[in-house]
Every structure is written in structure tokens, then in C-alpha cells.
Amino acid sequence: MAEFQVVYLINALVFSLMGIVIFVVAFKVIDKATPFQLWKEIIEEHNTALAILLGAMSIGLCLIIAAAVH
């Protein structure tokens, strides 16, 4: 069994942080590309269809980021 090495933990944290940053930037780009504010439309207007679509887009984007970082 392999011993625990701190470098593996640091690598995991760095790549996790990089993935989160890329996702947030991509979400902001998508938000700016739409003619309305996504968060306002989902929370204040209770647009369920947009929330489902955005959730599906987020999962797809996260899978692409995970594959690219891996």
C-alpha cells in the first residue's frame, strides 16, 4: 500500500481550486452572454425551466473541466 504523501494532497487541492475558478469564470461568461441576469431570473422570477437548463449546462461544463484538468 502506498504511503500518504503531502504532494498528492497539494495536487488535489490545486486542481480542485483550478476547476472551481474555471467554472465560475465560465458561469459569468454565460451570464453576460444572456440578455437577462440568470440569478435574478431563477430566484426572483422562479423560472424553473431556466434553473433546470442551467443545472444541466453546469454538469456538462464541470465534466468538460474535469476531463481537461485530469
pLDDT tens per residue, range 11-64: 888 988 898 898 899 889 988 998 988 888 999 999 999 999 999 988 998 898
CA-to-CA distance for 49 and 27, rounded, in angstroms? 17
Specify the pTM.
0.74
61 CB-near residues (< 8 Å, 6+ apart): 23, 26, 27
Report domain extents, the chain: 35-70
